[in-house]
Amino acid sequence: MDILDNNTILYIAAFGLMLIGISGIVISNHLMRIIFGIALLEAGANLLLLLSTYHEGASAPIIVADNIPTMMADPVPQALVLTAIVIGVGILALALSLAIRVQRAYGTLDMREVRLKLEQEISDEAGIDMPSSSEKPDDIAKVPLNSVVQQESGS
Amino acid sequence: MRRFTAALFLLGLGVMIAAIYQHIDFSNTAVNAGQAINAVAAEETGAANFVTSVVLAYRGIDTLLELTILFTAAMIGGMVLGRRRVDAPRDPDAGFILRTGADLLFPLLLVVGLYIILHGHLTPGGGFQGGVILAAAFFLPLLARPGITLIDQRVVSLVEGLAGATFIIIGLLAMFDGKEFLTPLLDKGELGALISAGTLPILYLAVGIKVGSELAGLLAHLAEAEALD
C-alpha cells in the first residue's frame, strides 16, 4: 500500500465519484438513476474542490480560545463548498419535482418510453407519421407502430 | 450501440482525468488567498470561524447571489408542481414509530438549528447548515402525517422575504456609511464571544431563516405533490 498514500486515495475517491455520476447520467435510462447520478457527480466535484487546497495535518480555520494553530486549511474552498451543497439540495429538489411531472404526464420514468411518447405526441399534433428511417423494412417496423397510432386516433 | 458509445465516452473521460491527475501537482497549489485570509481575518472581521468571514464578509455578495439561486430553484419547484386538486388522494399516516419520533425530534431540531445558526461565527456551522436543520424540523411532521398544515404558506413566504430584505438592508446600511456593499458594521467585540463580529451573526441569522423557510417550502411542495395512483 505504499503507492496509495492518503492524498491519492482521496483524489481517487473524488474522481471516482464524478465518473460514477457521469456514467449514471450517460448510461442509465431511468430518470431517478439520472438524478442520483447528478447527486454523485456533485459530491465528487465538492470533494475535489476541497482537496484542491488540502494540506496534510492542517487544522480547521477556526480559532478556539486564542489558540492559533500553526497551519490552517484554506477557508475559501470550504466557503464555496458550503454554499454549493445547499444549492445542490435545491437543484435536486427541482429535478425531483420535474420527475414527478414526467411521471404524472407519461406514466413512466423510463426515458426511452418517455421519448417515444413525446415524439408520438408531436407527430399526432402535427398530423404526420412518426419520424423513422427511410430505409426501414416495411413489414417489420410498421406493424407495432401503426397499431399504436390507430389505437390513439380511434379513442 | 448507445451503451457502447457511452462506455467509450466514459473510458475516454477516465483516461483524460488520469492524464490531468498525472500532470498537475494538486497538493501544492499556487493559490495563496486562503493563507492571506487566515492571517488577517481575525483582526478584520472579529469572527473566530474564518469560513464565516469568507462567506459573509469577503464574498458576501456571492452569498447573496447564491441565496438568489436557491430562491429561484424553490420558486420554479413550486411552479412546476402546481396546486393539488382538492379531491386528490393522500398517503396514509405513517406508523407509530415515525409519528412519535417526529413529535420528539421537532423541538430538538429547532433548538439545534438555531444553535448552529447563532454560533456560526464561532464554531463550525452557520446559516446554511442550521437552515437545513430547521427545514428538516418542519418537514419531519409532514412525513409522519401527510396532509397537516403546520404553517401557512403565506407566512413562510413572508418570513423568507423579510430575511432576504434584512440581508440586503444590512448591506445597504454599509453603503450609507460610505463603505462598500455588505461591509461588516458595528463593534467587532471580543474574539470568540457570542456577541462579536459586528453584523456577521445578524447576516447569518437572516441567511439561516431564509434557507430554512425556502427549503421547508420546497419540501412541503414536494410532499404535497399528488400521490400517484
pTM (global) more than 0.90? no
Task: Give the list of residues 6+ apart from residue B215 with CB closer than 8 angstroms, or none.
Answer: A89, A90, A93, B70, B74, B131, B132, B135
Q: Does domain A6-55+72-131 have CATH number 1.10.287.3510?
A: yes
* B220 touches A at CB < 8 Å: no
- The number of C-beta contacts closer than 8 angstroms across A and B is 142
**C-beta atoms of A82 and B126 within 8 A:** yes
Taking contacts as CB-CB distances below 8 angstroms, the residues of chain A near B80 are 94, 97-98, 101
Domain total in chain B: 1
Does B16 or A64 have the greater pLDDT score? B16
| Other CB atoms within 10 Å distance of the CB of residue B132 | 20
Taking contacts as CB-CB distances below 8 angstroms, the residues of chain B near A90 are 69-70, 73-74, 77, 214-215, 218
* B1 touches A at CB < 8 Å: no
- Dist. CA A15–CA B18, nearest whole Å: 9
Outline where B53-152 has alpha helix (H).
Answer: 60-81, 96-118, 127-144
Of the candidates B13, B35, B218, which has its C-beta nearest A93's C-beta? B218
* B118 touches A at CB < 8 Å: no
* B155 touches A at CB < 8 Å: no
* CA distance, residue B6 to nearest chain A CA (Å): 6
pLDDT at B227: 59
Chain A's closest residue to B122, CA to CA, is A62
Where in the sequence is the domain holding B55, given as residue range(s)? 49-224
Is B177 inside a domain boundary?
Answer: yes
Region A44-49 average pLDDT: 89
**C-beta atoms of A78 and B124 within 8 A:** no
Cell representation of residue B219: 419540501
Cell representation of residue B197: 463580529
**C-beta atoms of A96 and B222 within 8 A:** yes
Is B25 inside a domain boundary?
Answer: no
**C-beta atoms of B17 and A15 within 8 A:** yes
Taking contacts as CB-CB distances below 8 angstroms, the residues of chain A near B41 are 75
- Dist. CA B27–CA B10, nearest whole Å: 26
Of the candidates B10, B51, B226, which has its C-beta nearest A26's C-beta? B10
Identify any residues that bridge with A68 across adjacent strands, giving them in sequence order. Answer: none
Residue B190 identity? E
Taking contacts as CB-CB distances below 8 angstroms, the residues of chain A near B46 are none
| Other CB atoms within 10 Å distance of the CB of residue B179 | 12
- Dist. CA A100–CA B215, nearest whole Å: 18
Cell representation of residue A61: 480555520
Give the whole-number percent of chain A exceeding pLDDT 70: 79
Q: Is the pLDDT of residue A155 over 50?
A: no
* CA distance, residue B15 to nearest chain A CA (Å): 11
- Dist. CA A117–CA A103, nearest whole Å: 12
pLDDT at A84: 86
Is B16 inside a domain boundary?
Answer: no
> Has the ipTM of the complex gone over 0.90?
no
* CA distance, residue A39 to nearest chain B CA (Å): 16
pLDDT at A154: 44
Region A33-49 average pLDDT: 91
Backbone angles phi, psi at A151, to 5 degrees: -55, -45
- Decide: A31 and A112 in contact? Cβ < 8 Å: no
Closest CA to B81 of A16, A98, A91, A17: A98
The per-residue pLDDT string of chain B (229 residues; one tens digit each, 9 = 90 and over) reads 777 888 888 889 888 888 887 776 665 665 667 777 777 777 777 777 888 888 887 888 888 888 888 888 888 888 888 777 777 777 778 888 988 988 899 999 999 999 998 888 888 888 888 988 998 898 888 888 877 777 777 888 888 889 888 888 888 888 887 777 777 777 776 776 777 777 788 888 898 999 888 888 888 877 777 655 5
Of the candidates A26, A27, A90, which has its C-beta nearest B218's C-beta? A90
pLDDT at A35: 93
Task: Give the list of residues 6+ apart from residue B213 with CB closer than 8 angstroms, or none.
Answer: B134, B135, B156, B157, B159, B160, B163
* CA distance, residue A44 to nearest chain B CA (Å): 13
